[in-house]
Amino acid sequence: MPRSIFGRLAALTLIFIGLCALKPMPLSKPYRFEPTNHQSPINQSPLHQSPDWGFFAHKRINRLAVLTLPPQMMVFFKPNIDYLTDHAVDPDMRRYASKHEAPRHYIDLDNYGAPPFDELPRQWVDALMAHTDIWAVKASGDTVLLWGDKKPLQEVWQRDYKNWFYSQLMPRFYQDDETLNADSLRNFLEIMGRNERPQAAFYKEHLSQHGTLPWNLQRMQRLLTEAFRQRDSRRILKIASDMGHYIGDAHVPLHTTSNYNGQKTEQHGIHGFWESRIPELFADESYDYFVGKPEYVERSEDWFWQMVFDSNKLVDSVLTFEKRLRRTFPLDRQMCPDMRSGVMSVMPCRDFAAAYQDAMNGMVERRMRAAIHAVSSAWYTAWVDAGEPDLSKMGAPVISEEERKEEERLRKNFEQGKILGRAEEH
């Protein structure tokens, strides 16, 4: 089919998207807000633009994922399409507020050997058990290592150790708390036949330095399923929008390698070139967004791993084609001044970006399409696993005072512009 026809189809798709946003289905109410004092609606996101795969593509992925859902889900998701679109960027904003947020967006697979990465634990608790140090402070004031990173556990400890991790360490990990309950640890050690009696304890995990993306997706899927089961409309929207972001990241090859910005191959800036500049230039003009209906995923935990493995297989092509193109493309046509979010910047020229896109045979478009389908499939799978609850009569979600304060905190940290953790320079 001629490229011009694809362009017209893409344009018609965008018109349809806009019309859908203007005509919410009547059976469910959109996300609402009950203002007190100076509160503002929850679906008004900060307008500060940061071009991740990112503020443009993440919003597009979530929005189009909504439009693929079956009617039983569309009745709730479509009236709230603006919330799911605007809040698709919340995880990136949290990177300015928490040091533990950034690792949830990537995994450096090359730090775990070579494909198929058989020694990499697929379950989150198993990975933490294998890559965490636990330290105890004795009554004397001495600090001792009770057990350490990558050291094998005694076979008889496995079950109880895992249960203790679930109940004690996991909640603290997600609260950015590196301390442990000394009493709980003391009791656990006694059960295990150890004589240490710690007065205080803390842990140090080593997974975050290389990213936790697929494990984070496993957790998000469980949380979304439970939100559907509880028919908690506010949590459904919040978790679904966040999950769409992380799934989008899992489809970006440079989110699966330690050479995430070409810094190891003298290709600094390639991250933003691939995932921001190309879709910003061409996604509205020529991308085909027809991805079909969502599919039920039998084993979502394995599915999330396959996402990042599929992305990782493309890393070599992403780097090789860009390096080859820079050697052959006229130097004075590689970088050009251009306006972005009202600011004049120097970035890859349009012709250079088009040549890179063609060299990759439309890889960015394919990964974006795959991300849209994966997001809707994850949402659909969570809904089915929750028993397919009736979403048509759920009340309109209302933002709480606590959530309003959290949004203000995120906005403030974001506008200050200091990422906590790895900055990928989009």
Domain with 83 in it: what CATH number?
A: 1.10.575.10
pLDDT at 44: 30
Q: Is residue 256 located within the same domain as residue 321?
A: yes
- Give yes or no: residues 196 and 228 share one domain: no
Q: Give the per-residue pLDDT at 226.
A: 98
Secondary structure (DSSP) of 54-102: THHHHHHHHHHHHTTS-HHHHHHHTTTHHHHHHGGGHHHHHTTT-TTTG
Let me know if residue 343 belongs to a domain: yes
Residues 217, 190 within the same domain: no
- Residue 16, CB half-sphere, CA atoms under 13 Å: how many? 12
Q: How far apart, in whole angstroms, are the C-alpha atoms of residue 350 and residue 335?
A: 9
Contact 174, 99 (CB under 8 A): no
What's the pLDDT at 315?
A: 98
Q: State how far the Cα of 419 lies from the Cα of 314, in Å rounded to an integer.
A: 27
Spatial separation of the C-alpha atoms in residues 275 and 57, rounded to whole Å: 8
**Phi, psi of 345, rounded to the nearest 5 degrees:** -135, 160
Q: Which domain holds residue 355?
A: 3-114+211-416
Is residue 119 situated within a structural domain?
no
DSSP characters over 121-142: -SSHHHHHHHTEEEEEE-TTS-
CB atoms within 10 A of CB 395: 11
Q: Scanning the structure block, which residue is given the tokens 């600011």?
A: 343
**Residues 281, 189 share a domain:** no
Same domain, 9 and 26: yes
Q: Residue 289: inside a domain, yes or no?
A: yes
- Which pLDDT value is given to residue 118? 87
CA-CA distance, 127 to 150, in Å (whole number)? Answer: 9
Question: Considering 151, 180, 205, which residue would you say is the last residue of a domain?
Answer: 205
CB distance 426 to 51 below 8 Å: yes
Whether residues 226 and 187 share a domain: the answer is: no
CA–CA gap between residue 356 and residue 336 (Å, rounded): 15
- Domain identity same for 315 and 387: yes
User: Domain end: 189, 205, 221, which one?
Assistant: 205
State the DSSP code for 120. S
Residue 341 and residue 216 share a domain: yes
Both 191 and 215 in one domain: the answer is no
Q: Which of 205, 225, 257 is the last residue of a domain?
A: 205
Domain count, the chain: 2
Distance (Å, rounded) from C-alpha 313 to C-alpha 109?
A: 11
126 found inside a domain:
no
Instruction: Please report the pLDDT score of residue 423 as a whole number.
Output: 62
State residue 419's pLDDT score: 63
Q: 190 with 307, same domain?
A: no
Mean pLDDT by 10 residues, the chain (426 residues): 45 44 40 33 32 73 97 96 93 80 94 89 88 89 78 54 83 86 88 83 91 96 97 95 97 97 95 94 91 96 97 98 96 90 87 97 96 98 98 80 76 68 58
Residue 321 counted as domain residue:
yes
Q: Tell me: do 227 and 200 sit in the same domain.
A: no
Closest by Cα among 354, 249, 266 to 304: 249
The residue assigned the tokens 């018609």 is 12
In a domain, 122, yes or no: no
CA distance 225 to 233: 12
Q: Does residue 250 belong to any structural domain of this protein?
A: yes
Residue 396: CB atoms within 10 A of its CB come to 15
| Preceding amide of 116 cis, omega within 30 | yes
Q: Which residues contact 4 (CB under 8 A, 6 or more apart)?
A: none
User: Can you give the pLDDT at residue 195?
Assistant: 79
Give the tokens for residue 237.
């929207």
Q: Do both 12 and 98 map to the same domain?
A: yes
DSSP string, 409-426: HHHHHHHHT--SS-----
